[in-house]
Chain A
Amino acid sequence: MKILVPVKRVADPDNANKVKISEDGLHVTSEGLEGKPNPFDEYAVETALRILEDGVGSGNLRGEVVVVTIGPEDASREVRQCLAMGADRGILVVGDDERLDSSIVAKVLAKLVEKEQPDLVLMGKQAVDGDSNQTAQSLAQLLGWPQATFAGRIEVPADLASAVVTREVDGGAAKVKVAFPAVISVDLRIVSPTGVDNTVCGQKAYQEGPRYASLKGIMKAKKKPIDQITMDQLGVDQTLKVRTVRFTAPAQRKAGVKVDSVETLVAKLRDEARVL
């Protein structure tokens, strides 16, 4: 089985408050911030490994995990991080984030799917910079494949031909069964200890969160191939459908007052704010 995992490089999300808007309002700059794999995409890499592993954390995959990114050439660093976790190889599609929208990204991925013929595309539900939450769904449409978005749990039978996906939706969880090939987008609970059940690993539980690369993994990753390709070579129309015309700082809430006791708080809420 082959799983394709698209991974976007984002500015360190733990310091998202440090991104700056250029003076002309036309760009967001993240200078000085470290690039990181988009957290939800990193969860997708972990999920792909858990689906294919023959034992909890064994690293022996019953298939291939291919990581793809669209970004500048040095985004190969983030791809390499995913290879160090245990993915087999990488593809870097050279592109400039400011000249991409979800539609172009979905089209690039559709072309790669045509080339690579994966059984499953597994990706984060959204990138934490653009926060659009569109690409997986759009890709599924372009491919004519079923989609299971916001996966909090995935069960895959031993034959690796389908998945039962528990989707995190408003008011609860919806369960669907998708036949492969399919597109699945993952939510954060997927990396809980029992987020993935691939049947062969049995009841054993994983550690919470995506795995850290081992030293051995990092050494091995240095030798794993990352193919580079351009959007022109893939024959993708790069006309933007959605353009960001300017960036602005959102209105901030102001700090109010500190109260010294519950009694004062209740009095303020009743008499001043009138919410009780």
Chain B
Amino acid sequence: MSNILIVIHVTDNEVKKSVFSAAAFAKQAAAFAGGSYSLLAIGSDLSGATAKLATAGAAKVYTAQAPDLGNALAERLAPIIEQVLLAGSFKMVVSPASSVAKDVMPRLAARIGAGMASEVVGLSFDAGRFTYLRPMYAGNVNGAVQIDTPIEVVTIRPTEFEALAPSGTSPVETVAVPAPEPVAAKIEYLGFEKAVSTRPDLAEAAIVVSGGRGMKAKENFVILEELADLLGAAVGASRAAVDSGFIHNDFQVGQTGKIVAPNLYIACGISGALQHVAGMKSSRVVVAINKDEEAPIFQIADYGLVADLFKAVPELTAAVRALKG
């Protein structure tokens, strides 16, 4: 029996699609190893999220609620996850690779003496063991890794696992939240500054319009924003654009930034550095607009337009507007 525990942190009662991607991964893992999967949700208030979480096909949904858990401090979350893990007979604990999971899961792994595989994109099972596929070297190499500890800690890239359709109703169990450990007193949560954006979440958007060094200045991103708003798209950027100060780090798409896989990815003035491509290559359709016809982005784009983006993007916006009537 190999049971799997999915861990997610919930803010504002919002249940992200990535939960159902993690469920798809856990379902596969549980089927391979002959077990079931459960889900642990942690947050300050889960009242509006529990019903939806109960449709992820889990054998059980555990909820851990306390006022301070909304802050998602690793020092606080890791002991809670450990408690649920050890109380059940779990062989694997998995979380979608959000910034909370990236922060907490390695702390948890060290806590329970477990090995961990980060940002897994594929799973196989042979002779009783899991093998995880994970991108390394800025996406230039995939490593197949095995973990030699009784509990295996995993984060997955939700873009690589097709979300499970919601169905059924899992039983819900409330977890007794342990008191904070002494180390939690050494860190104080001061607040959250939300990136000002009325657009969809970059990691989950169906369409992404991205700009690179070719945007030349911060002010020029407005032409991408117009197109994005018309398409209901998120705005992204290459690391070069972030480094040049055109846009906040939160919008960076790439191996060390956000991993996206929208239906349509429109790359404007992006040369196509490997670092960037590693973060968007699973997109279904890629459009590249760049005035340099030698730009490597054209090697991976389904549709390439060699043009000055300052002319082409407004034209595209006008054409889409006309199309939408």
Interface residues of A (CB under 8 A from B): 13, 16-17, 19, 21, 28, 40, 101-103, 106, 125-126, 128-142, 144-150, 152, 164, 166-179, 182, 187-189, 192, 208, 239-250, 252-263, 265-266, 268-270, 273, 275-276
CA distance A252 to B71 in the complex (A): 39
A28 to chain B: which residues have CB within 8 Å? 136-137, 141
Contact pick for B146, options A178, A187, A245, CB 8 Å: A245
Would you call B171 an interface residue if the criterion is a C-beta within 8 Å of the partner chain's C-beta atoms?
Answer: no
Contact pick for A178, options B107, B187, B194, B285, CB 8 Å: B187
B137 to chain A: which residues have CB within 8 Å? 16, 19, 28, 128-129, 131
Listed residue (B107, B147, B201) with the most chain A CB atoms within 10 angstroms of its CB: B107
Contact status A240-B148, CB under 8 Å: yes
Main secondary structure of the interface of B (DSSP, over half): mixed
Residue of A nearest to B115 (CB): A241
B175-214 interface bits toward A, Cβ cutoff 8 Å, 1 = contact, 0 = none = 0000000111011111111110000010100010000000
Contact status B304-A256, CB under 8 Å: yes
28 A-B pairs within 8 Å (CB atoms) are namely A103-B110, A128-B137, A131-B118, A131-B255, A131-B256, A134-B118, A140-B107, A142-B110, A147-B103, A170-B100, A171-B201, A175-B190, A176-B189, A178-B187, A179-B187, A187-B249, A192-B245, A243-B146, A247-B143, A247-B144, A253-B277, A256-B302, A259-B304, A262-B307, A262-B312, A265-B287, A270-B323, A273-B303
Report if A134-B143 is in contact (Cβ < 8 Å); known contacts: A265-B305, A265-B316, A275-B263: no
Contact status A242-B148, CB under 8 Å: yes
Listed residue (B103, B114, B275, B281) with the most chain A CB atoms within 10 angstroms of its CB: B103
Residue of B nearest to A244 (CB): B143
Residue of A nearest to B306 (CB): A258
B42 to chain A, nearest CB (A): 15
Residues in B280-320 with C-beta less than 8 Å from chain A: 281, 284-287, 293, 298-307, 312, 315-316, 319-320
Residues in B235-258 with C-beta less than 8 Å from chain A: 239, 242-243, 245, 249-250, 255-256
Contact status A250-B323, CB under 8 Å: no
CA distance A254 to B74 in the complex (A): 41
Contact status A133-B102, CB under 8 Å: yes
B103 to chain A: which residues have CB within 8 Å? 137, 147, 149-150, 169
Report if A175-B144 is in contact (Cβ < 8 Å); known contacts: A134-B109, A192-B245, A255-B299: no
CA distance A110 to B261 in the complex (A): 38
How extensive is the interface on chain B, given as a class? 35 or more
CA distance A21 to B281 in the complex (A): 21
Contact pick for A146, options B100, B135, B183, B303, CB 8 Å: B183
Contact status B145-A102, CB under 8 Å: no
Report if A176-B73 is in contact (Cβ < 8 Å); known contacts: A192-B245, A244-B145, A255-B301: yes
Contact pick for A152, options B147, B190, B249, B293, CB 8 Å: B249
Contact pick for A172, options B108, B148, B194, CB 8 Å: B194
Report if A133-B118 is in contact (Cβ < 8 Å); known contacts: A164-B190, A175-B192, A176-B188: yes
Contact status A250-B186, CB under 8 Å: no
Contact status B319-A262, CB under 8 Å: yes
Contact status A247-B300, CB under 8 Å: no
A247 to chain B: which residues have CB within 8 Å? 136, 141-144
Report if A146-B191 is in contact (Cβ < 8 Å); known contacts: A16-B140, A168-B249, A269-B303: no
Contact status A138-B109, CB under 8 Å: yes
Contact status A150-B192, CB under 8 Å: no
Would you call B138 an interface residue if the criterion is a C-beta within 8 Å of the partner chain's C-beta atoms?
Answer: yes
CA distance A135 to B107 in the complex (A): 9
B216 to chain A, nearest CB (A): 17
CA distance A60 to B115 in the complex (A): 41
Contact status A144-B183, CB under 8 Å: yes
A263 to chain B: which residues have CB within 8 Å? 319
CA distance A250 to B255 in the complex (A): 14
Residue of B nearest to A28 (CB): B141
Instruction: Give 7 closest A-B pairs by Cβ, nearest first.
Output: A241-B115, A256-B302, A137-B106, A138-B110, A134-B106, A141-B110, A146-B187
B117 to chain A: which residues have CB within 8 Å? 242
Contact pick for B149, options A142, A241, A258, CB 8 Å: A241
Contact status B287-A170, CB under 8 Å: no
Residues in B126-172 with C-beta less than 8 Å from chain A: 131, 133-149
Residue of B nearest to A275 (CB): B264
Would you call B225 an interface residue if the criterion is a C-beta within 8 Å of the partner chain's C-beta atoms?
Answer: no
